[in-house]
Structure 1
Amino acid sequence: MGWAATTPGGRGGAIIRVTNLNTDGPGSFAAAVATKGPRIVVFEVGGVIDLGAKELKISEPYLTIAGQTAPSPGITFIRGGIDVATHDVVVQHIRVRVGDAGLPKKSGFDCDAMGTSGAAHDVIFDHNTVTWATDENMSASGQRFEGSDPDRWRQMASHRVTFSNNIIAEGLTFATHAKIEHSKGSLIHDNANDILIVNNLYAHNYERNPLLKGGVRAAMINNLIYDPGQRAVHYNLMAEEWGDKAWQVGKLTLVGTVLRAGISTPANLAMVELGGYGDLELYMKDNIAVDQIGRPIPFTGRYTTSPAKIITMKEPPLWPPYVTPMPVEKVQQYVLHNAGARPWDRDYNDVRLIADVAEGRGYIIASQDELHGYPVQKPTARPFNPDDWNLNDMTPKNPAALDSGSKAKGT
């Protein structure tokens, strides 16, 4: 879906098999994504890959990461994150659980779970689970102010990026980030554009569910936001960071999205809040925003005394291609059933989180140790058989045969 929908990813390229759970070296995930040329990364192992308190940067384009091919329990990365700093990449059915890596508070381990940087474009993150980040859980960044032309700024920021069907949750507050409090969902950085956020679950993030910074052009369709802390969706052009550059008007289309307050949510909260100094063109349709007992809460608010304003649009300022929104009444059930990595084979933490959202439980956490710590999974192995898969889109030819370790849990 969205502006990135036409990316080929690694379609038609070499099949690269991940054969071990090592951090790097032959047969590792790191070696697979570093291979040059179009490629489809598949997994002949399942289990946990420890990134050793580092970020794994993907710099080679034309890549599909097919986590759905792993044997149960799938692939989970811990103590680090994945950064896509290139173009034409599809990432599916991967779990990233960053955590504090056992490091001291305020030690400077500031790590996104998953996202883009530089001028990354035509990137799709679909059906992933990203939690316990010490920076953002899932973001789109870039150069922001390359040159003096705003069109150049947008070209050099992340653009044509889709976040679809992901669980984006439980960012750690008061952990290892240098600024201390940093439980954040998604940061869509200044001038990022053609960003689609669709069918995702945001849960238990203090802020940035998401934060759209100055000049961002984005669409949010059919997301479920549960238990935000200080803010849910917010827009903020920070003049202190823009200097003498010409402020750009942000553009946001927000349709069919549900906001439910939780235990961590303050009473004075709006679905979309305006901060900073720049104006935001906002189109809203068919949304629900309620407190813990179902009473409506405001759709818009502000946390600035500047002249910045929300410009209410009668028509969307932008609309993503290949997206047909569902009615908002269907969003909660759809998202809880479909979001996250391997919904047919959810791990313990995803099952727990989904149950908490459904029942109105859970809260913002400071450490993964509040939730039994990092996952410990017995490694599994199974040869990859290309005859079992439609290699053009990495869907199984027989979905009923998908390897599942969770059917007994009713997931």
Structure 2
Amino acid sequence: MSRRLALCATLLLFGPADAQLNRATYDHSGWAAETRGGRGGRIIKVTNLNAIGPGSYREAIEAEGPRIVVFEVGGVIDMGGRNMTIRHPFLTIAGQTAPDPGITVIKAETNIAAHDVIIQHLMFRPGEFGRAKRSGADQDGISTIGGAHRVIVDHCSFSWATDENLSVGGPRFDGATPEDWRRNTSHQITYSHNLIYEGLAHSVHEKGEHSKGTLVHDNATGILLYANLYASNLERNALFKGGVQAAMVNNLIYNPGAKAVHYNLVAHEWQGHAYQTGKVTLVGNVYRQGPDTRPNTTLFALGGHGDVELFLQDNIAIDDSGKAVAQTGVYTAGRARIVKAAEAYLPPGLRIIPAERLEDELPLAVGARPWARDPVDFKLLSDVAESCGKIIDSERENAIGYPTYPPTRRPFVAADWNLHDMSPSAGWHSLFKPR
């Protein structure tokens, strides 16, 4: 696929063909839409691929104050198992500024413990990197922690996590009331246009099997999963825990193993606390079974003991031969009930396309840098198109494995970018030339 074709496809999904690229690729949606990110802050340039030290990615994200992180280098950042935590707010990480092949972060997880954070156009591939099975030190791709809020992770690619690929975390019961719980855990989070795939199953997680897509932790509120593609994760595509208030809109879920979308308030985790009814809205999603999907796996399944208000509209659920499958079911004998929601739980102004168009348009626009696909992402999208691929135990089972690109370099020119949102300026054609 040419870069220009991919860019045009992005426009088709998110706006008319004569719209500017910045409206299509850099539009912020959801309850996190008002995030500032690093707007107005200083520009910090990543100038090398070192794991630590001056000019490194780690140094940039750990800096204080409003900041926009840009890249004058492309290639692979090998963190060697050392995780990263974003602790200071008002940050934009603009992976779109890197020269081809972009930035791939391997052998690490990234935690977001701050507010007003935007991350775009990076590839996160933790992997097991030779560690013993069930040895612990499992890693997410990205997770929010604490009371992170006004966070957007957009147009990124996640694979080979040994815990969840992309999650929303935080404390369950910080405070005296349910309102306190919601305020003090992660809230106002948007995960949009991401590729989320091949969570590793029998790898380093001490519990054993752990191929998981996205976990949204108890009482998280204002969570939007928008226009993402989930593929070949055994479970949690996504999992919403007790009391969550969230929407999944225009996502494609392919080849889950045991569960696609599910909700579960776990009784022993809530001991001593009043159960809260969750709110989950599913609109315009497509769920397609694959070679690893267990028979009778529904689009949405309820487990545990807490009720959930569920709103369903315009979702497609089919098996690998195109036959419709059930959209709802249960997987435990708990007391929980699915309550039909009177209205959708959705952020205002969200653009939604019909589910019947999703498989034509989403694969062309989703993931990091669709104008210059990473080979790992390209293979995944080919697997989805051909109804193949599988759930794997190690990154070594992927035919490509960790990328080994030589470093590339290109000076960052501020005039090439609209600094208020890091979309390309009118001269973007010089940055994104077709092959």
TM-score range, shorter chain: over 0.9
1:335 is aligned to 362
1:400 correspondence with 2:429: yes
1:325 correspondence with 2:391: no
Identify which of 251, 256, 259 aligns with 2:284.
Answer: 256
Residues 63 and 90, structure 1, Cα contact 8 Å, conserved in 2: yes
More moved, 364-373 vs 268-277: 364-373
Residues 304 and 335, structure 2, Cα contact 8 Å, conserved in 1: no
1:228 correspondence with 2:256: yes
Tell me by how many angstroms 1:33 deviates: 1.0
Residues 231 and 273, structure 1, Cα contact 8 Å, conserved in 2: yes
Separation (CA, whole Å) in 1 of partners of 2:176 and 2:404: 50
Tell me by how many angstroms 1:143 deviates: 1.0
Q: Which runs of 5+ in 1 are unaligned?
A: none
Residues 239 and 264, structure 2, Cα contact 8 Å, conserved in 1: yes
Tell me by how many angstroms 1:274 deviates: 0.2
Residues 416 and 428, structure 2, Cα contact 8 Å, conserved in 1: no
> How many corresponding residue pairs?
405
Separation (CA, whole Å) in 1 of partners of 2:349 and 2:121: 21
Q: In the TM superposition, what are the counterparts of 1:199-278 in structure 2 within 5 Å?
A: 199-278=227-306
C-alpha deviations, 1:303-343, integer Å up to 9, x for none?
A: 11122100012321x21133121111111122101110001
C-alpha deviations, 1:136-179, integer Å up to 9, x for none?
A: 00000101111231111101110000000000110000000011
Which residue identity does 1:393 align to in structure 2? Answer: D
Separation (CA, whole Å) in 2 of partners of 1:115 and 1:130: 12
Which residue identity does 2:428 align to in structure 1? Answer: P
1:156 is aligned to 184
1:343 match: secondary structure: coil
1:92 is aligned to 120
Which residue identity does 2:161 align to in structure 1? Answer: A
1:78 is aligned to 106
Which residue identity does 2:99 align to in structure 1? Answer: P
2:268 match: secondary structure: helix
1:152 match: secondary structure: helix
Separation (CA, whole Å) in 2 of partners of 1:224 and 1:238: 27
- TM-score, L = length of structure 1: 0.97
Residues 175 and 184, structure 2, Cα contact 8 Å, conserved in 1: no
Which residue identity does 2:385 align to in structure 1? Answer: A
Tell me by how many angstroms 1:403 deviates: 4.2
1:350 correspondence with 2:377: yes
Tell me by how many angstroms 1:362 deviates: 0.3
- TM-score, L = length of structure 2: 0.92
Separation (CA, whole Å) in 2 of partners of 1:322 and 1:374: 39
Cα RMSD (Å) of the superposition? 0.9
1:307 correspondence with 2:335: yes
Q: Which runs of 5+ in 2 are unaligned?
A: 1-28
Off by >4 Å, runs of 4+ in structure 1: none
Residues 100 and 109, structure 1, Cα contact 8 Å, conserved in 2: no
1:324 match: secondary structure: coil
2:35 match: secondary structure: coil
C-alpha deviations, 1:163-216, integer Å up to 9, x for none?
A: 000001100000000111000000000001100000000000000000000000
Identify which of 391, 399, 407 aligns with 1:364.
Answer: 391
Tell me by how many angstroms 1:36 deviates: 1.0
1:400 match: secondary structure: helix
Tell me by how many angstroms 1:399 deviates: 3.3
Residues 5 and 322, structure 1, Cα contact 8 Å, conserved in 2: no
